[in-house]
Structure 1
């Protein structure tokens, strides 16, 4: 009788362990990343994976949580940001196989002017304070002819790399999440689309100018090197690359988010 009880307990323990192995914890910023992940939850559940989405409001903690093995993967960033983060924080996070999902065209917003032609000399421009997104903002300003950069091919220029500034623009570097709140305090703000959408800004209507769909800043799914090729993450990517997800992105975001698959 004792052997049968122990055997039953062992089977129950194995079943519990198998169930735990199918829990996939993914960090994301709320819009659009968490919304897209929550959309594929039912599909993954049907495949035996319990997708748990953990929402964050910044760009640092989602990477640290994965690096520290608190979470399995994250979905919020592009490759230039990941490269810069790994270099600065001495982490070894990687893009998972076939990890590209979508592009969020980066835009410029203002509460003071309706047309970029009305931007005054000496205007204050708010840009993200991290190297990759700050550089992305400066590249977009350069494409508008507002400034010129020392190395046009660099993806991570800083305000120190501005070699021509005919309008004497002043740059204010802020945490990316804070940029929408700074709109009333600056003349122009370059804002990541996820934060623009959260602030009820419509990138296709409210942005004075915006990146094209050919942007190199594709949003990716990231994991640790030791689990990037796991079966559960592979199933997550299959779900994220489905025709249903592509249609969901097109219908919900109406050009503010563009599928990259």
Structure 2
């Protein structure tokens, strides 16, 4: 597992306490905690690939504007630890996940985190080393999909859109492989860790892969996916912080840079339509 450095960072809070007295006798005190970037660094947890590249571009813009702090990307190799590290105060923000996944993580692990801004949409795609169209998949084909609850339901919705199966009505994104209602071609659906699917594609006939992991594996989603989510996918990625820090000025500055024309242009030039700015 990737090691990451634990750094205790506190939010700037100002609490005015008024002490009431009689006549002219009055006093007030102000308690002031350290800023979120009191050490001069805003650390943002990301997964490797596009999220890392985008935060690095934001960091470059921060240097150009000579802010009072620098921005550093802390790379994680899975989808769980960036939220755990954020909740425990080891990083200041994270930028890697969709809202459905974020909400599920908060509830299942009782994390006091909040959404502070939107970033980009990564359309999930179906990839194969053997066929160029989903219609070419043979009966009994082995098809991989993410094992975590949110991405599993998303992949099943993608498979249904591609005509590979039908899911029980009303289940929505909570669907699991147990909710497959029709599978006429007897496909074998295999749940795997999201970060590992691209590396195991040679053992499968096809698989649903998150765009960041697909790009990391060398695919160009807009060109290499044999089926991909439509442009209006609801799975917008977000920036998260601890609830206590959500009003920190450094977060506003980070988001302002992220939502700049420079970053939008970087997305268009670097990712050729595989990522969609969503702010």
TM-score with structure 1 setting the length: 0.89
For the Cα contact (< 8 Å) 2:36–2:248, is it kept in 1? no
- Return the alpha-carbon distance in structure 1 between the equivalents of residues 250 and 100 of structure 2: 25
Measured after TM superposition, the shift of residue 84 of structure 1 is 1.2
Correspondence for 2:83 = 63
Listed one character per residue, the Cα deviations across residues 38-83 of structure 1 (whole Å, up to 9, x for unaligned) are 1111332312121121111111111110010111110000001101
Give the Cα–Cα distance (whole angstroms) in 2 for the partners of residues 242 and 132 of structure 1.
30
Query: How far does residue 186 in structure 1 lie from its aligned partner after superposition?
Result: 1.0
Deviation at 1:20, TM superposition (A): 2.6
Is residue 121 from structure 1 mapped to residue 139 from structure 2 by the alignment?
yes
Per-residue deviation, 1:26:
0.7
Check 1:166–1:68 CA distance in 2 against 1; reply closer, same or farther (3 A cut).
same
Residue 29 of structure 1 contacts residue 57 of structure 1 at CA under 8 Å; is this kept in 2? yes
Q: Structure 2 unaligned runs (5+)?
A: 1-33
Partner of 2:234: 216
Q: Give the secondary-structure state (helix, strand or coil) at the position aligned to 1:245.
A: helix
Q: Distance in 2 between matches of 1:17 and 1:32?
A: 28
1:169 to 187, 192, 209: 187
Going from structure 1 to structure 2, the CA distance change for 1:216 and 1:17 (only over 3 Å counts) comes to closer
Please state how far the C-alpha of 1:36 moved relative to its aligned partner: 0.7
Maintained 8 Å contact 1:126/1:171: yes
Find the counterpart in structure 2 of residue 199 from structure 1: 217
- Please state whether the residue corresponding to 1:141 is helix, strand or coil: helix
Residues of 1 paired with 2:90 and 2:170: CA distance? Answer: 39
Structure 1 residue 104 corresponds to structure 2 residue 115: no
Render the CA deviation track for 1:71-125: whole Å, top value 9, x for unaligned: 11100000011011112212122111xx111001100001121221111111111
Question: Corresponding residue for 1:228?
Answer: 246
Shift of 1:152: 5.1
Structure of greater relative contact order (alpha carbons < 8 Å, 6+ residues apart): 1
Q: Which residue of 2 aligns with 1:11?
A: none
SS in 2 for 1:38: helix
Aligned counterpart in structure 1 of residue 51 of structure 2, from 33, 37, 57: 33
Alpha-carbon shift at residue 146 of structure 1 (Å): 1.4
RMSD of equivalent CA atoms: 1.7
Is the CA contact 1:182–1:189 (under 8 Å) kept in the aligned structure 2?
no
Q: TM-score, normalised by structure 2?
A: 0.84
Q: Take 2:43 and 2:113, find their aligned partners in 1: how far apart are those partners?
A: 16
Distance in 2 separating the partners of 1:103 and 1:141? 19
What residue number does 1:85 align with? 105
Alignment: residue pair count: 244
Q: 1:114-137 CA deviation, whole Å, 9 max, x = no partner? A: 221111111111000101111110
